[in-house]
Amino acid sequence: MQPSKFSKNSKLRGSAERERTGFPEVLSRGFNQILQRPPSPAEAEAFSRYLRLLLQWNRVQHLTSYRRPADIAEKLFLDSLLFLRWVPPGRARVLDLGAGAGIPGLPLKIVKPEITLTLVEARRRRVSFLTAVVRELALEGVSVLEGRAEDLVEVDPGLRGAYDAVVTRAVGPLPSILPLAMAFLRPGGRFIASGPPAGKPLPTLPRDTPHRWESVPTPARVGKRLFLLVEKAN
């Protein structure tokens, strides 16, 4: 089926609007859409400092293909906040599997500071970046672990079954990542992963794994994002 002329025009208008709109405006608009409130001054400042570090480090190492601040706000920071609706309430222990540039873990921590966050990343340069962001933003209750997830959970048995939620975004094939996530989760814990855009083929998961897919509008309101939700059996 060919996209409608209305859909094409809507996307063009959205693209043109983003070209004209700066980082603070995009961030504020996305907050109002996702959280039904504007960012607090502390949140706005934290995201601005995060943006500055990301742009600086991106000059010497490939952290993201996005270069425009407005795109980073929309495609990375706000997209991360879509995970919030499934993160357990209160002082949840959350692990970001394959954290990369800190997405989605660090935006979640900025907006939900009460969580305890662990960022798992195998690449040393990205670990250095994550450590710099945590230090620059003075984030408490955040640890950065360097190594492959499958190795870390074997080396440190205290990580096994220790987390209320495991989040991941664009890190690899979901059927391969799912068993790793389950190892970190406590019984009743939740695996939350961003999937393909709505309408795209879904990955095949083991038949004996109870799961569900949920769709939410993207911050740009030009489509929907699918999320995979799996709860570990008690």
Give per-residue pLDDT as tens, 12-49.
Answer: 445 444 444 599 999 999 999 999 999 999 999 999 99
pLDDT digits (tens, 9 = 90+) for 99-149: 999 999 999 999 999 999 999 999 999 999 999 999 999 999 999 999 999
Domains identified in the chain and CATH numbers: 5-231 (3.40.50.150)
Return the exposure string of 208-230: e unless at least 16 CB atoms fall within 10 Å of the residue's CB, then b.
eeeeeeeebebbbeeeebbbbeb
Q: How far apart are CA 182 and CA 189, in angstroms?
A: 8
DSSP state string for 103-149: TTHHHHHHH-TTSEEEEEES-HHHHHHHHHHHHHTT-SSEEEEES-H
What tens digit of pLDDT does each residue of 187-207 get? 999 999 998 777 788 888 888
Residues paired with 190 in a beta bridge:
165, 231
Residue 1 has pLDDT above 90, yes or no: no
* The pLDDT of residue 21: 56
Give the C-alpha separation, 81 to 112, whole Å.
10
Coil vs helix vs strand at 168: strand
pTM of the predicted protein model: 0.88
Query: Is residue 8 over pLDDT 60?
Result: no
Q: Over 50: is that where the pLDDT of 185 sits?
A: yes
Quote the strand ranges of the chain, DSSP E: 93-97, 116-121, 142-146, 163-168, 185-197, 212-217, 224-231
Judged by DSSP in three states, 167 sits in strand
